[in-house]
Amino acid sequence: MTPSTTPPFPPDPTRPEPISDSPAVGAGIRTRGGHPEGISGSPAPGVGTPARGNRPEGISVSPAPGVGTPARGNRPEGISVSPAPGVGTPARGNRPEGISDNSAVGVVIPTRGDRAEWLRDAVRGVLAQEYVREVVVVADGVDAQTVAGQVAGLPVRVLPNRLSPGLPGARNTGVAACATDLVAFCDDDDVWLPGKLTAQVAAMAAAGAWFASCGIEVEYGGRLVPRLAGTGTVTADDLVRSRMVMVHSSTFLFRRGAIWVDESAPGGQNEDWDLALRAAKLRPIACADRPLVRVRWGRSHYVSRWPDRIAGLEWMLARHPELARDPRGGARVYGQLAFAHAALRRRRTAARWAARTIAARPAELRAPLALAVAAGLLPASAVLSLLHHRGRGI
Q: How far apart are the two ends of the chain, measured CA to CA in Å?
A: 36
> Using an 8 Å Cβ cutoff, are 184 and 109 in contact?
no
Torsion sign over Cα 64, 274, 279, 23 = positive
pTM of the model: 0.77
Closest by CA position to 184, among listed 105, 281, 90, 293? 105
DSSP element (H, E) containing 109: strand 105-111
CA-to-CA distance for 22 and 16, rounded, in angstroms? 16
Distance, CA of 35 to chain centre: 29
Give the pLDDT confidence score for residue 390 in this predicted structure. Answer: 82
pLDDT by position in tens, the chain (length 394): 444 333 434 445 455 544 443 333 333 333 333 333 333 333 333 333 333 333 333 333 233 333 232 222 223 334 333 333 333 444 334 444 444 434 799 999 999 999 999 999 999 999 999 999 999 999 999 999 999 999 999 999 999 999 999 999 999 999 999 999 999 999 999 999 999 999 999 999 999 999 999 999 999 988 999 999 999 999 999 999 999 999 999 999 999 999 999 999 999 999 999 999 999 999 999 999 999 999 998 666 556 789 999 999 999 999 999 999 999 999 999 999 999 999 999 999 999 999 999 999 999 999 999 999 999 999 999 998 888 888 888 8
The Cα–Cα gap between 290 and 379 comes to: 34
Q: How far is CA 312 from the centre of its chain?
A: 15
Q: Which whole-number Å values give the CA distances from 290 to 214, 230, 279, in the listed order?
A: 6, 9, 21
For the chain, residues classed under CATH 3.90.550.10 are: 31-296
| One-letter identity of residue 224 | L
Helix residue spans in 9-159 (DSSP H): 116-127, 144-150
The one-letter amino acid at 383:
V
Distances (CA, A) of 267 to 134, 165, 308: 28, 9, 6
CATH of 31-296, picked from 3.40.50.300, 2.40.30.10, 3.90.550.10, 2.40.50.140, is 3.90.550.10
φ and ψ at residue 287, rounded to 5 degrees: -130, 120
Contacts of 343 (CB under 8 A, 6+ apart): 304, 306, 373, 380
User: One-letter amino acid identity for 181?
Assistant: D
Q: What is the chain's length?
A: 394
What is the rounded distance in angstroms from the CA atom of residue 151 to the CA atom of residue 370? 42
* The one-letter amino acid at 172: N
How much is the pLDDT for 78? 40
Read off the DSSP letter of residue 58.
Answer: T
Q: What are phi and psi of 158, to 5 degrees?
A: -115, 125
Largest separation between any pair of C-alpha atoms in the chain: 65
